[in-house]
A and B are shown apart, each in its own frame.
Chain A
Amino acid sequence: MTLLETVGLTKHFKIGGNVSRRTLHAVDDVNLSIDRQEIVALVGESGSGKSTIARLLARVYQPTSGEIRYQDRPLSSMRTRRQSLAYRGDVPMVFQDPFSSLNPAYRVAHGIMRGLKLHRRDLNRAQRREEALRVISAVGLAPGVLDRYPHELSGGQRQRVGFAQALAYRPKLIIADEPVSMLDVSIRIGLLNLMTALREQEGVSILYITHDIASARYVSDRLLVMYAGHIVESGPVEDVLARPKHPYTQLLLSAVPDPRAPLSTDSADQGEPPRVIDPKPGCRFRWRCPLAIDVCERVTPELRLLAPGHSAACHVATPEPSLSEP
């Protein structure tokens, strides 16, 4: 059952001074959907628009056009503070930087208690404290952590607190914006395992935003690949990794360092995703694409179903033989 979906979600930013007004196309025409109890990974390099999508879903930005629908109701219809708070309680966000995501002036309990006060009004003070203890242990931290200051905790502990804060709302969907990128490698697995456990035990869905395709594979059920503001490929994670249809996905996979695999043939690609400013129609990957053909210059490709549940936005990609053309 679809929990959240976007239809033609677009966000443009105006850049440049008053003299030269140009538009940065951060997110263009994105259709994605997230079901209950699933972890969806959104993979892309910096500048691909993935963080903008996170903020659009968290209602930090307003979409330039397109719609976000939560439980079949568009977000734009949630105008009262009550409706807005209800959505925020259902769809919280976990941030990337453990060193700035907690207010250094307060103890750890503060953020959790404030969240409970705003979103779980039915609880009295004692019950709030109990709930705080419950979520802290649900993320694997000792109860004493609640009374510590953020600077006394390690990066991994702080990120767990971030998840605890989100859990306190009894959310349906957690937006995790690169939650492990700034952590040490050996700590990351603990957080990733936590995310899978939360899906099982608390029944939440997670939108896991990252640039690291290996960790995306580790936790997620479905994978969305973003490039220059577009979703270029989407499908079940094992399917996309085993049979990538879009040349960008193929490039990403070949670039991931894997000590167990031999070094793949070097491509001349220097690896710079573009800033999309006032773009013309056509595929935005065409300058780096080894398979680009004529139509790629003129027509922006749309997501086409190429295998069961697996789509790619590419003129060159061919559908699996098992799938009959519509």
Chain B
Amino acid sequence: MLEVRGLSVEYATDGAPVVAVDGVDLDVAAGEFVGVVGESGCGKSTLLFAIARLLSPPAAITAGSIVFKGHNLVTMTEKQLNALRWRDCSVVMQSAMNALNPITTIGAQFRDVAHAHMDWSPDEVAERSAEVLRLVGIDPIHLKSYPHQLSGGMRQRAMIAMALLFTPDLVIMDEPTSALDVVAQRSLMVQIKQLQRQLGFAVVFVTHDMSLVSHFSDQLLVMYAGLIVEVGPTRTVFDSPAHPYSRGLLEAFPSIRGVRRPLTGIPGSPPDLARPPSGCRFHPRCPVAMPECATTEPPLYSVGRAQARCLLHAPERAPLSEVRS
């Protein structure tokens, strides 16, 4: 349903442009939950905004295609995009407090959204608003409330309800749970999954917390320095991560169960995208880097049911010495 090919996004700067997203491919089937995981600066939010066609200067899409239900979003005009926006594809932002207008009621904001995209009568709008609020577990009486009167978790749910007003086929979510505490987070994730099963929409979910999506996503993409470094079924990526970065990320989560043992994390910090390392962008921090990693940019190689951008998996190499997760 969503097919992204070779998408590149650049930020214009005083000097050379910074490539925030570099030739990314992404496939989302109908009803699929796709998790995009990475740390700050990896380009995942930029990717999301590019797909939603919400980028503004100095950022711009410089290459690639985004084919959504047969139409290439990159070449569409604003007018054509507006026909699709919210009805077929909607967006849930990271912080509801930033995305909701603090001086109007929730109901008024739902009305604004409805009027912007559809010609419904006031009654239809009110009915649908109440319906979506109920779907996310909020009493429709809160249509009259202001955002600050709701708790953090409820505000996020209201955002999700707004995104579902027209039962879109695709909902893009940019770290919707990061401002919430762990119990509210769990509850919201469960709710999202439930709604997804109920209404059948696909989700592209961006987060920096890999463990959050582990139980909910079907497909997992790991991004680093603007590239996809690993992609595959979630369980596969978790059980046997093929890329040293994914492995490092998984190792960086202390567990509350099992034996307590020292972890190492990943030394160093993500690269400056204005001057990315030569060859494999992860090689300066990679525990198993080889000499050729500094000179060769690896493509995505197939590794079982997943793909990884790592020279360790180049088919011409001898069988790997260690693949342990």
Contacts and interface: CB of A to CB of B under 8 A. Distances in A.
Do A and B touch directly, given a CB cutoff of 8 Å in the complex? yes
B255 A211 contact: no
B151 A272 contact: yes
A252 B180 CA distance: 13
A215 B256 CA distance: 8
A122 B248 CA distance: 45
A95 B179 CA distance: 18
A238 B257 CA distance: 10
A266 B190 contact: yes
Nearest to B38: A184
- On chain A, which size bracket covers the interface? 35 or more
B216 to A, nearest CB: 9
A214 B270 CA distance: 24
Interface in A123-170: 154, 156-157
Given A186-B252, A267-B187, 5 more contacts: A45-B182, A46-B181, A186-B39, A218-B254, A270-B137
Contact of A238 (B151, B250, B260, B270): B260
A189 B252 contact: yes
Given A255-B183, A256-B182, A217 B212 contact: no
Interface string B249-286: 11011111110101111110110000000000000000
Interface in A49-101: none
A261 interface: yes
A212 B253 CA distance: 11
A185 B181 contact: no
A213 B252 CA distance: 14
B265 A187 contact: yes
Given A186-B252, A251-B183, A257-B212, A271 B257 contact: no
B187 A269 contact: yes
20 contacts: A45-B181, A46-B181, A154-B269, A184-B40, A186-B265, A188-B265, A189-B263, A192-B254, A217-B256, A218-B263, A238-B260, A251-B183, A253-B256, A255-B183, A257-B212, A258-B211, A260-B255, A267-B187, A270-B154, A271-B153
A251 to B, nearest CB: 6
Interface residues of B, number: 43
Contact of B153 (A214, A253, A270): A270
A164 B260 CA distance: 27
A260 B263 CA distance: 16
A193 interface: yes
Contacts of B248: 186
Given A186-B39, A270-B187, A258 B255 contact: yes
B208 to A, nearest CB: 6
Interface string A177-200: 000000011111110110000000
Contacts of B210: 185, 259
A29 B186 CA distance: 30
A259 B211 contact: yes
Interface in B185-227: 185-187, 190, 208-212, 214-215
Interface of A: 45-46, 154, 156-157, 184-190, 192-193, 211-215, 217-218, 238, 241, 251-263, 266-267, 269-273
Nearest to A251: B183
B215 A257 contact: yes
B294 interface: no
B256 A213 contact: yes
Contacts of B258: 260
A188 B183 contact: no
B153 A257 contact: no
A46 B148 CA distance: 16
Nearest to B215: A263
A185 B208 contact: yes
Contacts of B301: none
B68 to A, nearest CB: 30
Contact of A185 (B152, B184, B252): B252
Which are the 9 A-B pairs with shortest beta-carbon distances? Answer: A189-B265, A271-B183, A271-B184, A259-B214, A218-B254, A45-B181, A186-B266, A255-B186, A184-B39
A257 B211 contact: yes
Given A189-B252, A263-B215, A45 B183 contact: yes
Most buried by B among A186, A253, A263: A186
Contacts of B262: 193
Contact of A214 (B137, B154, B214, B254): B254
A188 B263 CA distance: 10
Given A257-B186, A269-B187, A211 B181 contact: yes
A273 B210 CA distance: 25
B181 A187 contact: no
Given A259-B211, A270-B184, A271-B185, A185 B263 contact: no
Contacts of A267: 187
B187 A258 contact: no
Most buried by B among A156, A187, A215, A273: A187
Contacts of A156: 269
B43 to A, nearest CB: 14
Contacts of B249: 185-186
Contact of B209 (A46, A190, A257, A266): A257
B146 interface: no
A273 B97 CA distance: 18
Interface in B235-257: 238, 248-250, 252-257
A262 B154 CA distance: 26
Contacts of A189: 252, 254, 263-265
Contacts of A255: 182-183, 185-187
Given A189-B265, A259-B210, A263-B215, A184 B256 contact: no
